[in-house]
Structure 1
């Protein structure tokens, strides 16, 4: 359906692809993986024709419709969310637009002389609209938006009034409603809450076209894809299986390649030793020449290319008191909307609470109350003795000084720390070499999140309050963070839509629902087993 045939592509001085080949076949669901900057987005852009390979070709079967979702949604305003989604539905949206124009024309007294022709054309267009399933289109568009957590009120709002994250969902909804032959999704799981993520998962499982997507959510990839295409060192390598299979297979391949390389190195060393020892002896001249020729012809094995993986070890945090947070009879509302009414909640030392609830249930509000960045309308929030809190929120990323470099930002936070330890900290969070000299204003969302996280964790708090800490993190950084937090000995309260993060790190669940607030002993995995649902907004 779509084939990359010996493509080469250079981006300024960087070689992204060199004589690389891969294919996307009908009905395949493929995960595209590779380190940041490897060329994943460039590959998408070559399929859509926005970029061309320097050499080789991208061959696409005729008449194949392609839908492409990326993070750059552009300007949207002047139409409702539902109209914007319907506009992406392919041929039927063109017919719908003409139908709307003809309806206006039929009501225009200045066009009374053309009425017969207008009515005749209206009949033709209406028949075509019906044939394309146009009358079900609005219902389907609303269904998709509901799956992406839009309320009916938001569906009919001007899309220009929505935040960037919700506009992303509208752009994603356009592609999903279109149901093209091939769908290209670049990070569709960003900006989605857990309910939307699970709905999208089911939608994509049932989608019959070809799918090529990137995602930083390994659970999401594992449940959808049946093939992985990896970009690494200019090559495209295909693995038949999900992301977990790819990880195992890649590790096995690396092990085999390392063993092969070591065996050959040992053999070469032995041969060179023989040549060196006997090269001056006439009696061994023939043997020496024979071995020199043999070595010249041998194809040398390369050692496996090691991906840079970093780990972060928490310095031990001071011990807090046993009662970390006590909330009593807390009331909180915004305007006429009540969020909490008489909430009693306690966090004890070493508990790791994950907070679950649909959009608007009050998850971030709870974290803000605990962190002291908002006050209750009534009741008390008491933080216990010797508690040193670290609070990560999306807002913290906006507070970075744009004129400071990454290193200056760390140095400003920790003036007593040595350069070596700060560079080591920066490296753990993905800022190696010249990256520490980047100005904060040019950092991507993921880089800002990593910098805020590094600043928070260097002088470790004994109580972490984390609001969607993995939102902008790539797979490798996310794994590093999960491993580090798994070894962390303090107390945690967090909100996340990443199921691996939830399952690995929680040992308590606080569920916020319209019917009330429920507390569960045991972590997210036990919560799923007990309730039969992966998120509060889903009922099986």
Structure 2
């Protein structure tokens, strides 16, 4: 359906692709992977025709429809979420808009003298709407929005009043409702809660078109894709299998290439040593010439391209007392809405609690109560002896000073740290070379998250409170964080929608449900085995 043939592409003096080729066939579900800045979004844009390759071509079969979702959702306001979603479905959305206008006109007292014409036109438009299965379309639009965790009120309310994350879900719902021949999804798993993520997973599994997507959620990708296209060093390499298979295969290929490279280097060294030793001897002239010619003809094996591996190790944190947090008989309300009544909860040293619950269940509120950023209406929250807390919250990224560079901001946080230590820290979190000179205001969401996390982990707390720490993080940084946290000696309390993160790091689960609060010994994996579902909102 889509063929990428020998494309080359440069972007502001940076080479993204060199004679790269790949294909997307009917019904295939492919994950697109590669380091940040490798050209994943550029490839999507070339497929949609909004950018052209410098050389080579990207060809799309005739009459193939493409739906492209990216993070740039544009302006949305003045219409309901359901109308906005239906707008992506082609001609029927135009008819739907007129139908809504006519319905408003029919109840407008200032237009009574036009009522006969309005009613006549309404009949014509309604017939056309039925012909295009408009009523069925609205039902499907609501179904998709419900799957992405919209309430009926949110579906019918002004989309302009929604946050950026919810607008992104509206943009995603438009593509899903459209059901094009090909879906290009750039980070569809961002901003989704666990229930929405699992719903989307099921939807995409049942989608019979071709899919090319990027995602920073390895579990999500593993369950959907059957092929991986990797962008690395300007080339496109295709692997048959899911993301886990790709990782194994890539490591194996690198190992084999390294072994070939080392064997060839040993052979070349031996030949060069012979040539150097005997080049001045007339008796060996023929042999030396023969070996020189042989070396000229040998095709050199390149060493494997080394991805810049990020690694971070915690400095030992001071030991806390056995009781880290004690929540006693806590009530918390927002207006008439009660979040907690009589909550009792204790966190002990070295426990790693993950907090599960649907949107609005009170996950972030619990973290705010623990960190003291909100006060309980009743009851008490006490922090134990020698507890040194580190809190990663989404709003922490808004507190960065935009006028400072990455390095200046770190120096301000740690005035007594040496330059070498701060540069090493920056490198661990993906700020290498000139990246440390970037102003904080120009950083992407992922870069801001990495910088805040770097500062929090540099002077290690013995109690980490993390609210969605993996949002915006790419797969490599996420793996580095999981590895570092798995070796961390302290206590953790966290909220995450990343199942790999949950499974690797939790040893306790606190589940918040409308029926009450449930505690589970054992981590997220045991929780899934015992309950039979992956998220509280999926209870049967």
Per the normalisation by structure 1, the TM-score is 0.96
In 2: Cα distance, 1:478 partner to 1:112 partner: 61
In 2: Cα distance, 1:376 partner to 1:290 partner: 86
Q: Which residue number in structure 2 is paired with residue 397 of structure 1?
A: 397
Q: Which residue number in structure 2 is paired with residue 354 of structure 1?
A: 354
Deviates more, 1:107-116 or 1:92-101: 107-116
Q: Which residue number in structure 1 is paired with residue 503 of structure 2?
A: 503
In 1: Cα distance, 2:101 partner to 2:3 partner: 40
Q: Which residue number in structure 1 is paired with residue 536 of structure 2?
A: 536
In 2: Cα distance, 1:116 partner to 1:506 partner: 62
In 2: Cα distance, 1:126 partner to 1:113 partner: 15
In 2: Cα distance, 1:117 partner to 1:494 partner: 59
CA-CA distance at 1:102 after TM superposition: 7.1
Question: Structure 1 residues 104 and 385 mapped into 2: Cα distance closer, same or farther (>3 Å)?
Answer: closer
CA-CA distance at 1:51 after TM superposition: 0.6
In 2: Cα distance, 1:253 partner to 1:129 partner: 56
In 2: Cα distance, 1:284 partner to 1:153 partner: 90
CA-CA distance at 1:126 after TM superposition: 5.3
Residues 139-165 of structure 1: per-residue CA shift (max 9 Å, x gap): 111111111011111111100000001
CA-CA distance at 1:410 after TM superposition: 1.0
Question: Structure 1 residues 97 and 63 mapped into 2: Cα distance closer, same or farther (>3 Å)?
Answer: farther
Deviates more, 1:292-301 or 1:462-471: 292-301
Paired residues for 1:339-488 under 5 Å: 339-488=339-488
Is 2:281 the partner of 1:281? yes
Question: Structure 1 residues 114 and 79 mapped into 2: Cα distance closer, same or farther (>3 Å)?
Answer: closer
Q: Which residue number in structure 2 is paired with residue 139 of structure 1?
A: 139
Q: Would the aligned equivalents of 1:319 and 1:386 in 2 still touch at CA under 8 Å?
A: yes
Look up the SS of the partner of 1:447 in the other structure: helix
CA RMSD of aligned residues (A): 1.8
In 1: Cα distance, 2:298 partner to 2:105 partner: 79
Residues 418-458 of structure 1: per-residue CA shift (max 9 Å, x gap): 11111111111111111111111111111111111011111
In 2: Cα distance, 1:101 partner to 1:395 partner: 40
Residues 36-81 of structure 1: per-residue CA shift (max 9 Å, x gap): 0000000001111111100111100011111110000011000011
CA-CA distance at 1:282 after TM superposition: 2.3
Paired residues for 1:70-469 under 5 Å: 70-97=70-97, 123=124, 129-469=129-469
CA-CA distance at 1:293 after TM superposition: 1.4
Question: Structure 1 residues 471 and 113 mapped into 2: Cα distance closer, same or farther (>3 Å)?
Answer: closer
In 2: Cα distance, 1:300 partner to 1:128 partner: 67
Q: Would the aligned equivalents of 1:5 and 1:57 in 2 still touch at CA under 8 Å?
A: yes
In 1: Cα distance, 2:492 partner to 2:458 partner: 16
Q: Would the aligned equivalents of 2:106 and 2:119 in 1 still touch at CA under 8 Å?
A: no
Question: Structure 1 residues 474 and 126 mapped into 2: Cα distance closer, same or farther (>3 Å)?
Answer: same
CA-CA distance at 1:104 after TM superposition: 7.8
Q: Which residue number in structure 1 is paired with residue 50 of structure 2?
A: 50
Q: Which residue number in structure 2 is paired with residue 21 of structure 1?
A: 21
Question: Structure 1 residues 115 and 445 mapped into 2: Cα distance closer, same or farther (>3 Å)?
Answer: closer
In 1: Cα distance, 2:292 partner to 2:91 partner: 68
Q: Would the aligned equivalents of 2:508 and 2:520 in 1 still touch at CA under 8 Å?
A: yes
Question: Structure 1 residues 142 and 317 mapped into 2: Cα distance closer, same or farther (>3 Å)?
Answer: same
Q: Would the aligned equivalents of 1:106 and 1:118 in 2 still touch at CA under 8 Å?
A: no
Q: Would the aligned equivalents of 1:323 and 1:346 in 2 still touch at CA under 8 Å?
A: yes
In 2: Cα distance, 1:311 partner to 1:466 partner: 20
Deviates more, 1:279-288 or 1:14-23: 279-288
Look up the SS of the partner of 1:247 in the other structure: helix
In 1: Cα distance, 2:530 partner to 2:479 partner: 27
Per the normalisation by structure 2, the TM-score is 0.96
CA-CA distance at 1:220 after TM superposition: 0.4
Question: Structure 1 residues 504 and 115 mapped into 2: Cα distance closer, same or farther (>3 Å)?
Answer: closer
In 1: Cα distance, 2:28 partner to 2:131 partner: 28
Look up the SS of the partner of 1:58 in the other structure: strand
In 2: Cα distance, 1:157 partner to 1:130 partner: 24
Look up the SS of the partner of 2:385 in the other structure: coil
Q: Would the aligned equivalents of 2:102 and 2:118 in 1 still touch at CA under 8 Å?
A: no
Residues 333-359 of structure 1: per-residue CA shift (max 9 Å, x gap): 101110000101100011100000000
Question: Structure 1 residues 336 and 104 mapped into 2: Cα distance closer, same or farther (>3 Å)?
Answer: closer
Q: Would the aligned equivalents of 1:105 and 1:111 in 2 still touch at CA under 8 Å?
A: no
CA-CA distance at 1:267 after TM superposition: 1.3
Where structure 1 has 5 or more consecutive residues not aligned to the other structure, the ranges are none
CA-CA distance at 1:416 after TM superposition: 1.0
Q: Which residue number in structure 2 is paired with residue 66 of structure 1?
A: 66
CA-CA distance at 1:175 after TM superposition: 0.5
Look up the SS of the partner of 1:57 in the other structure: strand
In 2: Cα distance, 1:460 partner to 1:116 partner: 70
Question: Structure 1 residues 130 and 350 mapped into 2: Cα distance closer, same or farther (>3 Å)?
Answer: same
In 2: Cα distance, 1:424 partner to 1:115 partner: 71
In 2: Cα distance, 1:137 partner to 1:75 partner: 23
CA-CA distance at 1:269 after TM superposition: 1.2
Q: Would the aligned equivalents of 2:81 and 2:155 in 1 still touch at CA under 8 Å?
A: yes
In 2: Cα distance, 1:133 partner to 1:443 partner: 45
Q: Would the aligned equivalents of 1:429 and 1:451 in 2 still touch at CA under 8 Å?
A: yes
Look up the SS of the partner of 2:318 in the other structure: coil
